Amino acid sequence: TFLDRMINLVEGAKRKKTPNEIALNILLLGLTIIFLLAVVTLEPFAIYSGATLSIPVLAALMVCLIPTTIGGLLSAIGIAGMDRLLKRNVLAMSGRAVEAAGDVGVLLLDKTGTITLGNRMATEFVSGPGISPEKLADAAQLSSLADETPEGRSIVVLAKEKFNLRERDINSIGAKFIPFSAHTRMSGVDFQGREIRKGAMDSIEQYLQDNGGQMAPEVKAAVEDIAKKGGTPLVVAEKDQALGVIYLKDVVKGGIRERFAQLRRMGIKTVMITGDNPLTAAAIAAEAGVDDFLAEATPEAKLKLIREYQSKGNLVAMTGDGTNDAPALAQSDVGVAMNSGTQAAKEAGNMVDLDSNPTKLIEIVEIGKQLLMTRGALTTFSIANDVAKYFAIIPALFIVTYPQLGLLNIMGLATAQSAILSAVIFNALIIVALVPLALRGIAYRPLGANVILRRNLLIYGLGGLIAPFIGIKVIDMLLVLLGLS
């Protein structure tokens, strides 16, 4: 069944760690191992040189040198990102989801309701050869009586307005309604021996062939003509005969082209996902200004497309609201489910937009990039901060044995005990001092990676080197003043 297919696809979908997450883990692990080895080798060196090192001193050195600053701030940065999204009515399931949004390279957007207004309306009945427009309108209305979508209701209204066909009660005439599904891509009605179907051209063509019929060239030409205009053609058929085409018209949202241009400047590729035929999809894509499109999309096709982009090293974001979107939402690195959507879609995604506004993805990406910029800046500060502590602790440990190390005592700290105690106190205070910055975040600017790196090195790298020299010296002076040195 359709549900079984969706369950199997969701179970096969799996999110991977982002490149930034992997890089940070490797960096923190590598630095921890290096500093651990440095501390462990100090004891043999001290024994060889005749110096005395106590366990508390080595423990203090270890605490000061390993990257505890950024480790202590990572949770605050992630929570702050989730909080900023929540203020925009987007519920993120984890800080990792927000982080992934900042690294997104490909954005998959559903056409209907996201790129277009979503209220496609029937505007014309184009009858096939030998079929009167009234007969086509009657069949179209019958197949849409139980269709509560805006498209279905507009077909019923158009038939009434153009041919005075009164709406009939589908239950009173003993009809069986065939609902639309993503698998068949058509719907219809069975009653009194009649079988009426409406749907995409390829689906109806297959339906006609199964019933021993063929689609007339005139009907195919009408489908192509409507598609080239950017409309959605729905073919209506009864058993083995194509009756004609319904012209559904949709309108591209105002300002959407400018928003896609903004995403392009951020280095993000936009891909429109639609169930329309390739001609209609191409016309809408050109008008909206997206970079690519996937026409006649099925759940399997969406999943395949996402995996193709991911295999090339891209992080993919997607919005969706239906059960048929669940596999793709589960596979995408950032899956934003609409609050108005199905429970399956919300369970599969790692974010839920409470306003059900798919264009909010742009804001999500910006908040994700702000999170990455904040983490990058504080990581730079943390590493520079750890390097500066060497000048406080290492000379203090061996200055008695090797007086020449006094040249490295740039801070002019009073005693070895004072140096170590000052470094430990500073290490604890700096984390608390940086929490407000971690929560507020670095102001987002659409800058390139090289520009951001140079800026972080200049501001936070240099700041990370200078701050410990000033902070540790001030604490050392206070300890001397209090007689604790």
Report phi then psi at 108, rounded to 5. Answer: -100, 120
Integer CA distances (angstroms), 381 to 13, 314, 463, 465, in order:
37, 28, 7, 8
Report phi then psi at 298, rounded to 5. Answer: -115, 165
Of 269, 344, 346, 345, residue with least CA distance to 308: 269
Report phi then psi at 261, rounded to 5. Answer: -65, -40
119 Ramachandran zone, left/alpha/beta (phi>0; psi -120 to 50): beta
For residue 427, what are its two tokens? 């290490």
Catalytic residue among 83, 103, 110, 321: 110
Helix or strand run (H / E) with residue 102: helix 95-102
Q: 260: number of CA atoms within 13 Å, CB side?
A: 24
Q: In which order are the strands placed within the sheet that holds 334-338?
A: 90-92, 351-353, 334-338, 316-320, 106-110, 269-273, 292-294
Integer CA distances (angstroms), 250 to 50, 119, 355, in order:
84, 7, 22
Residue 60 near residue 389 (C-beta atoms within 8 A): no
Secondary structure (3-state) at 270: strand
Q: What angle do CA 286, 291, 293 make, to 5 degrees?
A: 75
Of 157, 148, 193, 200, residue with least CA distance to 173: 193
Q: What count of other Cβ atoms lies within 10 Å of the Cβ of residue 258? A: 9
Q: Residue 249 pairs with which residues in a beta bridge? A: 121
What residues have CB less than 8 Å from 30, skipping those under 6 apart?
none
Secondary structure (3-state) at 241: strand
> Is 292 part of the annotated catalytic residue set?
no
Of 346, 438, 440, residue with least CA distance to 91: 346
Active site residues: 110
